[in-house]
Every structure is written in C-alpha cells, then in structure tokens.
C-alpha cells in the first residue's frame, strides 16, 4: 500500500533560519503530492502541491519539488517567521471514482522562536 514518511519533530528554529522538512513516499502509480499546514487550534490548510515528476509547488515562501527518482517531496523555506509555527503534513493522493484518498505522513511540528 501507499505510505508517507516525514521527519519527526519538533523542529525548533530561530526566526529567519532555513527550514527543511523531509518527506519520502511509497506508492504505486503516479500520485499527486501535497503539503498541508495546521496552525494551533485550526483545521488543515493546503500549503502547496505538485501533480507530476519535477513539478515544483510553491506558496508563502515555501517550496517543494516532486522528485520521482528519490520518491521525495521535501519542504523548504529560506527564512522562517514566528507565524510559521505549526504542524506540517506531507500527503499523497490517489484518485478514485469513489473519492480521492489522502495518505498522510505523521506530521512535523515546527516551532519558530523570535
């Protein structure tokens, strides 16, 4: 079956530091890949996505590139802010007629200190 593995947190950084969260996946076929972010006390927000190999998703200064050869989709941001403190989930999606199914990684908690 499909699976997603992401680095365990918490990751603690100072403001303006560089952030990388590793994500690797196992899947049959060619899934689409996503990063969702969950701020404290809130639901999940789509951060970025990539639907095919070598696609780069980007949003709010975050980037991730779909690397088929290494089955990875690592999330990066060059200069984090306190407001980026959240839990980040990597996910892959299977498209089915019965409904799209997301497989999530375990989540990585990021804490940015001033």
Cβ closer to another protein: 26 or 45? 45
d(CA 110, CA 20): 10
Residues 7-66 that bind another protein (CB under 8 A): 32, 34, 36, 42-46, 49, 51
* Total residues interacting with another protein, rule: CB under 8 A: 24
Residues contacting residue 66 through CB under 8 Å, at least 6 positions apart: 33, 50, 51, 52, 53, 54, 55, 56, 57, 73
Q: Which of 19, 105, 110, 112 binds another protein (CB under 8 A)?
A: 105
For residue 102, state whether it binds another protein (rule: CB under 8 A). yes
Cβ closer to another protein: 13 or 89? 89
Q: What pairs with residue 91 in β-bridges? A: 34, 104
Cβ closer to another protein: 17 or 24? 24
d(CA 95, CA 105): 18
Contact between residue 5 and residue 23 where contact means Cβ atoms under 8 Å apart: yes
Applying CB under 8 A, the residues found at the interface with another protein are 32, 34, 36, 42-46, 49, 51, 89, 93, 95, 97-102, 104-107, 109
């Amino acid at each position: 079956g499909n699976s997603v593995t992401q680095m365990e947190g918490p990751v603690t950084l100072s403001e303006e530091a560089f952030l990388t969260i590793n994500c690797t996946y196992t899947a049959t076929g060619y899934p689409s890949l996503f990063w969702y972010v969950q701020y404290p006390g809130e639901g999940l927000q789509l951060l970025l996505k990539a639907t095919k190999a070598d696609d780069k998703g980007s949003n709010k200064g975050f980037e991730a590139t779909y690397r088929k050869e290494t089955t990875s989709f690592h999330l990066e941001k060059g200069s984090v802010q306190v407001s980026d403190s959240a839990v980040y989930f990597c996910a892959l999606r299977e498209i089915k007629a019965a409904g799209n199914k997301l497989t999530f990684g375990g989540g990585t908690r990021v804490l940015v200190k001033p």
